[in-house]
């Protein structure tokens, strides 16, 4: 079969790759639409912590596919599915308390095992979720990044009517603004980085899109730009009694100067969030199947598997005046 493969030396190419065979509790799935993100670039560039990757690697951790065969309890052949990427052991203390994102044995599709940027993939049956026929592939392909955002948003008990700020204008930031609507917020301000993203950002339902942080403070600040400066901005713009959620990933080893007495005096919660739990993923699937979440408007770039290298280029190019939401690759049957 064909697959988009990287060895972590700055390149990824479409090449022949052995087709996997499903045995034991594995299910064969044919990927249909696969999203790419900044993490794929880190995998390609080899800049990710070696503990979290195994090369050579078939990319693809954000995807929707269809069952190759009838699978009891999951669906019939052709049924569209999304699959959790993190494969928890189910037995370690973290797994047993539901924190499957912190499983003692890290194993994830598209990181430590082959991803979905290929004509066929196998996955543990228990992680496969069926989709209703009415769910658009373009919505479902965002299940994984939505699960990342949803886990972060649901970790804290957040009240309604908050003023919310989202820092960043990449897909995770825009999904955070979109899903923040579930909190019934007073307003949502996206503090973006590029004017070209304005129209796309407004489609999330955000109240405001600004390029500079306003002088006001917010009850909830979601940091999704992943720079040291934006983390600083996030903490500085949190109102008394408010919360900061850190979703972006600044370079490893970087530091931020903070005034801890402000955090204490202002009664602020600063919360990190890593990936997603099984519960968060299942919630996302339920919302997709109920057609409550339809974020397909975020898709701006679409390629075929044969031209997947162009998708990588599109992701890498940071042109100020180009609108960029989610970059996806369609795997032709
Ligand atoms: Zn991703
Ligand atoms: Zn575990």
Mean pLDDT confidence for 11-30: 96
What pLDDT shows up at residue 252?
79
pLDDT band at 82 (very low <50, low <70, confident <90, very high): very high
DSSP structural state of residue 216: S
Q: Of 149, 168, 166, 189, whose CA–CA distance to 62 is shortest?
A: 149
Write down the domain spans for the chain: 2-136+294-330, 150-272
What pLDDT shows up at residue 216?
96
Closest ligand to C-alpha of residue 104 is: 2
Residue 333, pLDDT above cutoff 80: no
Residues within 5 Å of ion ligand 1 by Cβ? 37, 39, 62
What residue has token string 């739990």? Answer: 277
Would you state the structure tokens that stand for residue 51, as one six-digit string?
């503990």
User: Domain spanning 150-272 has what CATH number?
Assistant: 3.40.50.720
pLDDT band at 6 (very low <50, low <70, confident <90, very high): very high
What pLDDT shows up at residue 131?
98
What is the Å distance from ligand 2's center to 99 Cα? 8
The three-state secondary structure class of 143 is: helix
Closest ligand to C-alpha of residue 99 is: 2
pTM: 0.96
Residue spans of alpha helices (H) in the chain: 38-45, 93-96, 137-140, 143-155, 171-180, 198-202, 228-236, 260-265, 278-289, 308-316
Transcribe 223-270 into DSSP letters. Answer: E-S--HHHHHHHHHTEEEEEEEEE-S-PPTT------HHHHHHTT-EE
Mean pLDDT confidence for 274-279: 95
Of the listed ranges 10-19, 46-55, 119-128, the least confidently predicted one is 46-55
d(CA 83, CA 125): 9
For 2-136+294-330, CATH number out of 3.40.50.2000, 3.90.650.10, 3.30.420.40, 3.90.180.10 equals 3.90.180.10
Closest ligand to C-alpha of residue 278 is: 2
What pLDDT shows up at residue 211?
98
**What are the phi and psi torsion angles at 293 (to 5°)?**
-115, 120
Percent helix / strand / coil, the chain, rounded to 5: 30, 25, 40
pLDDT in tens, 226-246: 999 999 999 999 999 999 999
What is the Å distance from ligand 1's center to 325 Cα? 13
What is the residue-averaged pLDDT of the chain?
A: 96
User: How far lies 113's CA from each of 55, 86, 133, 327, in Å?
Assistant: 9, 10, 28, 22
Mean pLDDT confidence for 117-122: 98
What pLDDT shows up at residue 310?
96
């Amino acid at each position: 079969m064909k697959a988009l493969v990287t060895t972590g030396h700055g390149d990824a190419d479409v090449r022949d790759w052995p087709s996997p065979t499903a045995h034991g509790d594995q299910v064969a799935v044919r990927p249909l639409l696969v999203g790419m993100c900044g993490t794929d670039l880190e995998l390609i560039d080899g800049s990710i912590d070696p503990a979290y990757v195994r090369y050579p690697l078939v990319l693809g951790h954000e995807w929707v596919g269809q069952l190759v065969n009838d699978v009891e309890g999951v669906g019939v052949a052709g049924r569209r599915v999304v699959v959790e990427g993190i494969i928890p052991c189910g037995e370690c203390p973290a797994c047993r308390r539901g924190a499957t994102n912190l499983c003692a044995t890290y194993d994830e599709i598209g990181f430590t095992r082959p991803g979905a940027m290929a004509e066929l993939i196998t996955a543990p049956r228990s992680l496969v979720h069926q989709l209703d026929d009415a769910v658009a592939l373009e919505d479902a392909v965002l299940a994984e990044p939505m699960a990342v955002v949803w886990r972060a948003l649901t970790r804290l008990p957040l009240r309604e009517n908050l003023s919310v700020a989202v820092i960043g204008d990449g897909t995770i930031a825009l999904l955070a603004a979109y899903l923040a609507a579930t909190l019934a917020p007073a307003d949502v301000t996206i503090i973006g980085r590029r004017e070209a993203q304005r129209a796309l950002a407004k489609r999330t339902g955000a109240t405001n899109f600004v390029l500079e942080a306003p002088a006001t403070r917010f009850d909830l600040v979601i940091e999704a730009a992943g720079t040291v400066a934006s983390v600083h901005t996030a903490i500085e713009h949190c109102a008394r009694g408010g919360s900061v959620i850190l979703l972006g990933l600044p370079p490893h080893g970087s530091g931020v100067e903070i005034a801890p007495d402000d955090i204490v005096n202002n009664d602020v919660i600063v919360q990190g969030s890593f990936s997603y739990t099984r519960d968060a993923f299942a919630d996302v699937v339920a919302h997709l199947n109920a057609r409550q979440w339809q974020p397909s408007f975020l898709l701006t770039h679409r390629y075929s598997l044969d031209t997947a290298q162009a998708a990588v280029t599109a992701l890498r190019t940071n042109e100020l005046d180009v609108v960029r939401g989610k970059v996806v690759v369609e795997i032709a049957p």
